[in-house]
Amino acid sequence: MNSLSFANGDQFPIIGLGTWKSKPGEVYQAVLWALKSGYRHIDCAAIYNNEVEVGKALSHAFAEGIVARKDLFITSKLWNDSHRIEDVKVGIQKSLKELQLDYLDLYLVHWPVSFKKGVGFAENREQYYTYEDVPLAQTWQGMQQVQQEGMTRHIGVSNFNIAKLKELFAVGGQGPELNQVEMHPYLKQEKLVKFCKEKGMLMTAYSPLGSGDRSSSSKKSDEPKLFEDHLVSSLADKYKVSPAQILIAFSVHRNIAVIPKSVNEERIKQNLEAGAIKFEVEDFKALNAITTQYRFIDGTFFTGSKSPYKLADLWEEF
């Protein structure tokens, strides 16, 4: 499998298994199928509420000799209720315990949004902290500390725009090494990608297939469907692959890691096989030239009258 390289030479498999929305009772088997298919990169997060089951699958895989720990790349993420410096270590320790691991390969600040301790999803203003209450710099210092203590080999962020990234680099010391954001042909994030590359940061694309299985309450009735895009469909026919594989290959061709989620054995295999697709130059240019712009995960669940945060705290403009 193709890999990207961190500054210290550590390899980051370019296709990983996403576990967001994978239900307990499904994710255990999905992880085992993925590892047996050749995946060596599993993307997790505390808020997915399935790390215990992922940990059981990893432990089983190690015990059965399916894969060695040293050959795996495991990511997890710090939830919004653990942004105070004293809570960062507690957050990663909980994930390590649930995943049954001694260390993570990558630990990310999940969102640039802070909740009070113990809040799963803030429902009113009183459950949020502001940037004045808990500056991002404080959270980042906590991330640096857990890296220095060997709990994670690399540290980074998710859903951070350029302005917020600059705040973290201004802290000094180890800066963020990776930014995980929504990316696909309808949201290429070119300005953000350029900034991250200039800073030596890697990137991971989440929701590369449009996150069609997310809850209906977070969807808009008129949102576009990536699978039904005419160019994506025609390229799938041309290369004799699925539209999903075309979308995954799009990120691979941009040297951006990608973490499609599936709990279906055959699709898990197909998603990994997408890394072998070699686009003709003109086909990749055409994908890159799609003018439709759409953000499926729009962040409005963290903004509005109940919150001190604005969408400008999350995203670059299109």
Residues with catalytic function: 48
Nearest to 208 by CA among 192, 230, 231, 232: 232
The CA distance from 241 to 248, in Å, is 11
Residue at token pair 């001694």: 102
Residue at token pair 């942004």: 83
Cβ atoms of 55 and 31 within 8 Å: the answer is: no
Residues comprising the chain, all counted: 318
The CA distance from 95 to 84, in Å, is 17
Residue at token pair 């903004």: 303
